[in-house]
Amino acid sequence: MVSEQASPRSRHFASAGIWVLAALIVGYALVFGGYIATIVAFALIYGVFVSGLNIFMGLTAQVSFGQSAFAAIGGYTSAVLTTTYEWAPLPGMLAGIVFALLFALVIGFPTLRLKGHYLAMATLAIGLITYEIAVEWESVTQGYMGISGIPPLGIGPFEAISDRQILATLSVIVVIVAFAVTRIRKSRLGRAFAAVAGSEEAAGALGINVARYKLTSFLLAAGLASIAGSLFVHVVGYVSPEVFGMHMVVLAFTMVYIGGLGTVAGPVIGALIVSLLPELFRGMRDSQDLAYGITLILILIYAPKGLAGLAQSFDARRGK
Amino acid sequence: MDNMHLVLQSLISGISIGCVYGLIGIGFCVIYNASGIVNFAQGAFVMLGGMVTYVLIERFQMPYVVAALGAIVVTGFVGACVERLVVRPLWNRSAPMFVMILATLAAQIVIERLTYILVDDQPKTLPAFSDLPPIMLGGVAINFQSLWIMAGSVLIVVALGLFFKTTRTGKAMRAVSINAEAAALQGIPVSLMLTLAFVLSAMLGALAGILLTPTQYTAFNMGVPFAISGFIAAIIGGFGRPLGAFLGGIALGLIQAMAILGLGAGFKNVAALSLLLLFLFVRPSGLLGSTR
């Protein structure tokens, strides 16, 4: 390959630009604070959620419309443990991850045997069942009322209360997640994911345990979704079933496709852009979902690789 | 004895709503057979059936029958739009399966939101087809609308069967579903058949919505639950088998009715979704499907 001979710096020029853009947005919010900081904080939480989705869909080429289920498990575990049982946020979040992983393990075994439409529908059903349970299991979740008075994020004496503290904490988490995804992608695990993504039959023939790697990928995605759910309830201080409805799924898919499926930067920049876009059209509160839907269709048709994908192909062409 | 009547009564309403699920399930099959695509926007068609009829009656003072026919035509047109604007461009770019699913799901949301903006978010209902008291059969009251639904659904299924068996267009659509390339070589316009499948499926969905709305209500966001029920019906019947989907719908309606009796109305969706998972995990080829 000719592009291999170009220096690494020029090869990744546009891709690095994506990260710079993300850093600029977060930096702007950090400096100016206020309303924009809240928006960017949500975007970063979604960045974590979408990064998980991206591991499962982008790296492993599976499909799940039910990741909101794991965010709900994480969110509600954190909410219940920190309010009713007065746990600290961090152990609550860890408990959420454990529950989410256990659920993913139990549900993953039968679900991941499915392919195509069946996998899509089964995962969608799992997301919807979780939503229904969050609504109906009132003794724990308080139904539509939701749980309020959830304490802010914090470890020991340090609590992230101000916009800037929250933003800084979330930025650190997103950077850690992005770094972890980068490492996973380059590791043995990531190569196995890529093999499964390429062809399950071929991967199996090469001695890759397809079922196990699919499950691993699913667990990683579920864990990140659970973390995102926990972060959400601590940042907002309130949780209700609506948070984890179909809206969350569609939003996450729009983000991952705008950013670029299968890239590390894609989920983060996608989350930032999709969260900020409606702020440009303030007046259209009612038509936000409409805008997301139309944008998603257009992206799927005309730019299925997303921004980070475009940057990559730009770099590849420059390298030649 | 009263208990028995209650059970029978809910079983009958279960069958009648099951017929509607069956019709929605058939809508899935029509598109799936023509293209291998599972159209996740199917529920939007059902919602539009009831909603457009309501709007035509309330805002344009049309008579019920005219409004219903109008709704079927409008929904058929929306079906054609979904195919031309969303599915076709992706089809031409040979997009992967889950991109197609996602795009139809996005189309569902676009239709939902447009309805929300153009109409409103209030639940709507339609008057019953005939203003008659329930029929009493030995203490069991049968809602007249339930009879309309059952008779209407059977009629639609028979008509659809005849369409596929006897008409030129129907035969052409079947040929495409068996082997698209061979059909193209016979001079069948395959691409037109795909559009036609969406129109037909949308009209079926609209019919289901019109039959259903007088007994329940419809709202802009009712599409997804309808679509899921229809999908479950199609799965139970062995995906791609219209008759199987219809019977699957009735089975689902009965199970839901029993779940409501036993567990309360809150858990009817959980029951239906759990049934879906059970079938997907244990017997994805459906009750009538062969064990391939």
The enclosing domain of B245 has a CATH number of 1.10.3470
CB contact residues (below 8 A), chain A span 276-295, against chain B = 286-287, 289-290, 292-294
Chain centre distance of CA B288: 19
- For chain B, where are the alpha helices, taking DSSP H only? 2-35, 42-60, 64-81, 88-92, 97-118, 144-166, 168-178, 180-185, 190-212, 223-236, 242-263, 268-282
Nearest to B266 among A136, A289, A297 (CB): A136
Candidates B159, B158, B192, B157; CA nearest to B175 is: B192
Over pLDDT 70: what percentage of chain A?
Answer: 94
Backbone phi and psi for residue A22, each to the nearest 5 degrees, phi listed first: -60, -45
pLDDT above 70 (res A221): yes
Burial of A93 (0-12, 13-18, 19+ CB in 10 A): buried
The letter for the amino acid at B192 is L
Give which of B110, B115, B220 to mutate to test A binding, by max A Cβ within 10 Å: B110
Q: What is the pLDDT of residue A190?
A: 92
CA-nearest residue of chain B to A295? B106
Mean pLDDT for the stretch of residues A81-99 = 91
A304 touches chain B (CB under 8 A): yes
Q: What is the pLDDT of residue B3?
A: 77
Q: What is the pLDDT of residue A284?
A: 63
Residues present in chain B in total: 292
Residues present in chain A in total: 320
Candidates B8, B61, B20; CA nearest to B216 is: B20
Describe chain A by its helix, strand, coil percentages, rounded to 5. 80, 0, 20
The letter for the amino acid at B138 is G
Nearest to A118 among B89, B93, B284 (CB): B284
Candidates B236, B239, B226; CA nearest to B274 is: B236
Nearest to B269 among A132, A246, A294 (CB): A132
Q: What is the pLDDT of residue A3?
A: 40
pLDDT above 80 (res A200): yes
pLDDT tens digit at each of 292 positions of chain B: 567 788 888 888 899 999 999 999 999 999 988 888 888 899 999 999 999 999 999 888 889 899 999 999 999 999 999 999 999 999 888 888 878 888 998 899 899 889 988 988 788 888 888 777 777 777 777 778 888 899 999 999 999 989 988 999 988 988 888 888 888 898 888 888 889 999 999 999 999 999 988 888 888 888 888 888 898 898 888 877 888 899 999 999 998 888 888 877 777 778 888 888 888 888 777 776 554 3
Mean pLDDT for the stretch of residues A120-139 = 88
pLDDT above 80 (res A22): yes
Q: What is the pLDDT of residue B127?
A: 83
Report the run of H or E that residue A148 belongs to, with start and end. Answer: strand A147-148
User: Is B291 within the bounds of a domain?
Assistant: no
User: Is B133 within the bounds of a domain?
Assistant: no
pLDDT above 80 (res A191): yes
pLDDT digits (tens, 9 = 90+) for A142-152: 888 888 888 88
* Under 8 Å between Cβ of B215 and B262: no
- In angstroms, the separation between the Cα of residue A47 and the nearest Cα of chain B is 20
**Cα four-point dihedral sign A222, A228, A230, A236:** negative
Q: What b/e string do you get for A169-200 counting C-beta neighbours within 10 Å, with b at 16 or more?
A: bbbebbeebbeebeebbeeebbebbebbbeeb
Share the mean pLDDT of chain A: 86
Contacts of A246 in chain B (CB under 8 A): 224
* Under 8 Å between Cβ of A127 and A63: no
Q: What is the pLDDT of residue B210?
A: 92
Q: What is the pLDDT of residue A7?
A: 45
pLDDT above 60 (res A35): yes
Q: What is the pLDDT of residue A283?
A: 60
CB contact under 8 A, A121 and B276: yes
Q: What is the pLDDT of residue B291?
A: 42
Nearest to B280 among A121, A287, A304 (CB): A121
* Under 8 Å between Cβ of A65 and A221: no
CA-nearest residue of chain B to A136? B266
Nearest to A287 among B95, B117, B224 (CB): B117
Q: Identify the three-state secondary structure at position B251.
A: helix
Q: What is the pLDDT of residue A99?
A: 96
A32/B196 Cα distance (integer angstroms): 55
10 Å Cβ neighbour count for A30?
17
Say which residues have a Cβ less than 8 Å from residue B123's Cβ, sequence separation at least 6. Answer: B217, B218, B219
Contacts of A132 in chain B (CB under 8 A): 267, 269-270, 273
User: Is B130 within the bounds of a domain?
Assistant: no
Backbone phi and psi for residue B138, each to the nearest 5 degrees, phi listed first: 55, 50
Over pLDDT 90: what percentage of chain A?
Answer: 38
User: Is B93 within the bounds of a domain?
Assistant: yes
Domain count, chain B: 1
Mean pLDDT for the stretch of residues A128-138 = 88
Candidates A243, A294, A235; CA nearest to A39 is: A235
Q: What is the pLDDT of residue A319?
A: 65
Parent domain of B80: 13-119+141-282
Chain centre distance of CA B128: 19
Q: What is the CATH number of domain A15-319?
A: 1.10.3470
Res. A320 pLDDT band, cuts 50 70 90: low
Say which residues have a Cβ less than 8 Å from residue A221's Cβ, sequence separation at least 6. Answer: A52, A53, A55, A56, A64, A67, A70
Report the run of H or E that residue A245 belongs to, with start and end. Answer: none
Please tell me which residue, B132 or A72, carries the higher pLDDT value: A72
Q: What is the pLDDT of residue A46?
A: 95
Q: What is the pLDDT of residue B86?
A: 93
